[in-house]
Amino acid sequence: MAKSATAHGGELARRGFTVAQVVHDYGGVCQTITELAIEKKAQITASEFKIFNLCLDEAIADAVTEYVRLREYEGKERVGHLVHELGNLLNGAVLAYDALKSGSVAIGGNTGALLGHSLTGLRNVIGRELAEVRLGSGIQHREIVRVFDFLEDLEVAATIEAKTRALQFSVVTIGRDVTVAADRQILASVVTNLLQNAFKCTRAKGQITLRARATADRVFIEVEDECGGLPPGRAEELFTPYEQRGDDRSGVGLGLSICERGARANGGEIHARNKPGIGCVFSVDLPRHLAAVAA
């Protein structure tokens, strides 16, 4: 019992559930068994019920202990990665600025590109951390988001990033009437994170595509890269916290777990499709705003 409860608490922590939901799971077990006993007219003695509740108490304690332990560990790991990443980006920006200020190099050269890359990286990190805070605290602001405009906003920064890395970038947009009800900041963080992973993992001079498509009731925002594909069994690992892929080890090590949580917070899901030998396609699957469909 202790082993399974510990595993259950750790799994819920990794999937982003709250500690209240860990406890609620075991309350559901108690309620289910009680209702089943009533339905089957099975007699439960006071002694049996006491033992059952003691087992539930111990299981809850084991699950919560593992949940807290894992969260504390992840918190320390995350702060360490975050400090390292911010330090690298700030140092790059300061060094590039000092060189440009001396007048010995032109803004249009590699030094200017380094400054732009560092500032873009800082903006992405701050945006991602703000989204993480909102997800962790349960703060959301749903609004009607026009997908065409949303992609247009992301295109500018993504184009600059692609040029910095000597990669090809294209956008396949969608009709102006397609909308979703979502927290714009969290959704932007999800797609930006997918784009950043694509830029890091795509082979030199490769192609990254940002596209949107829609059905009668769903909207799909997809990022396709040319990372060369994944080895068998690796697709499941991509959404594990601190899992990274590719030679570029920058990032706080959250892998794509924040994308999964952000998609869920907006009522959707995220899927990864492997294209062996070519790359991956990550798809954010969201409910289409029904009022817009009706109109």
Spans of all domains in the chain: 2-75, 140-294
Report whether pLDDT(279) > 50: yes
In angstroms and rounded to an integer, the radius of gyration of the C-alpha atoms of the chain is: 23
Residue 294 is predicted with a pLDDT of 47
Residue 43 is predicted with a pLDDT of 87
Higher-pLDDT residue of 158 and 86 is 158
Residue 125 is predicted with a pLDDT of 74
Residue 217 is predicted with a pLDDT of 93
pLDDT band at 70 (very low <50, low <70, confident <90, very high): confident
Report the CATH fold assignment for 140-294.
Heat Shock Protein 90 (3.30.565)
Q: Note the pLDDT tens digit of each residue in 208-226.
A: 999 999 999 999 999 999 9
Report the candidate in 165, 223, 172 with the shortest Cα–Cα distance to residue 193: 223
Q: Kindly report which listed range (4-13, 28-37, 108-117, 151-160) carries the lowest average pLDDT score.
A: 108-117
Residue 249 is predicted with a pLDDT of 43
Residue 168 is predicted with a pLDDT of 93
Q: Note the pLDDT tens digit of each residue in 25-45.
A: 888 888 898 899 889 998 888
pLDDT band at 135 (very low <50, low <70, confident <90, very high): low
Residue 80 is predicted with a pLDDT of 66
Q: Which of 153-162, 189-198, 258-267, 280-289 has the highest mean pLDDT?
A: 280-289
Rounded Cα gap, residues 195 and 173, in angstroms = 15
Residue 294 tokens, joined: 């009706």
Report whether pLDDT(78) > 70: no
Higher-pLDDT residue of 108 and 239 is 108
Residue 253 is predicted with a pLDDT of 41
Report whether pLDDT(242) > 50: no
Task: Give me the DSSP letters along the chain.
Answer: -HHHHHHHHHHHHHTT--HHHHHHHHHHHHHHHHHHHHHTT----HHHHHHHHHHHHHHHHHHHHHHHHHHHHHHHHHHHHHHHHHHHHHHHHHHHHHHHHHTSS-TTSHHHHHHHHHHHHHHHHHHHHHHHHHHHHT---EEEEEHHHHHHHHHHHHHHHHHHTT-EEEEE---TT-EEEEEHHHHHHHHHHHHHHHHHHSPTT-EEEEEEEE-SSEEEEEEE--S----TT-GGGGGSTT---SS---S-S-TTHHHHHHHHHTT-EEEEEEETTTEEEEEEEEE--HHHHH-
Report whether pLDDT(161) > 90: no
User: What average pLDDT does the chain have?
Assistant: 80
Residue 90 is predicted with a pLDDT of 80
Report whether pLDDT(22) > 50: yes
> What is the phi/psi pair of residue 274, to 5°?
-90, 135
